């Protein structure tokens, strides 16, 4: 088994990575550190720059992940500011923002993988779907959008179909791409 560190303050993300990478014989160790994100950076830049900076700082082979939710009604938005938008508007504000608008949306995850002194590689995962008109499911502070995001091809939110999220989510897709690439190395 190969061990790679996952630099994140969100332990739930590390657990999701462990499950996704286990079939590739990769063990994830949670490293509770983050690099301050630059304002207006893309999720790709945040993941790549964070992985390179933290790999050099810790002298460890590691991953940095960033995810954004993108509303088709507002191109590029909220993107890397997804967490801040939710903290400021809550569900009522988010749902009101989309009232009368196109409700299609997608999650995009960027995983930066780096070794000390090396350029990071990026792995991208996308989940297409739509935003529900009302909350469906139980709130989880680690994944607050799961109760309003309906993956494409389904009628329920991720919160109500966790077994589907475990195999189709943006994060799982990105980790599978990483796992396949590492297996070839």
172 and 178 in contact (C-beta within 8 Å)?
Answer: no
Provide the angle, in degrees to the nearest 10, between the axes of the packed helices 11-21 and 170-184. Answer: 50
146 is catalytic: no
Of 49, 56, 66, 72, which residue is the catalytic one?
A: 66
174 and 65 in contact (C-beta within 8 Å)?
Answer: yes
184 contacts: CB under 8 Å, gap ≥ 6: none
CA distance 96 to 140: 21
Catalytic residues: 66
């Amino acid at each position: 088994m190969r061990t790679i560190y996952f630099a994140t303050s969100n332990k739930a993300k590390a657990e999701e990575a462990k499950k996704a990478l286990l079939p590739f014989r990769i063990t994830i160790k949670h490293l509770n550190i983050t690099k301050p994100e630059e304002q207006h950076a893309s999720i790709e830049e945040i993941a790549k720059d964070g992985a390179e900076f933290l790999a050099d700082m810790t002298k460890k082979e590691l991953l940095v992940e960033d995810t954004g939710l993108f509303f088709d009604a507002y191109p590029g938005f909220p993107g890397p500011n997804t967490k801040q938008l939710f903290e400021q508007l809550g569900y009522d504000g988010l749902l009101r923002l989309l009232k009368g608008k196109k409700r299609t949306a997608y999650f995009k995850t960027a995983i930066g993988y780096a070794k000390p002194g090396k350029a990071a590689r990026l792995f991208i995962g996308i989940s297409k779907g739509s935003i529900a008109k009302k909350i469906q499911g139980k709130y989880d502070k680690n994944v607050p959008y799961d109760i309003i995001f309906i993956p494409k091809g389904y009628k329920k939110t991720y919160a109500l179909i966790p077994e589907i999220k475990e195999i189709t989510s943006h994060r799982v897709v990105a980790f599978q791409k990483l796992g396949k690439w590492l297996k070839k190395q």
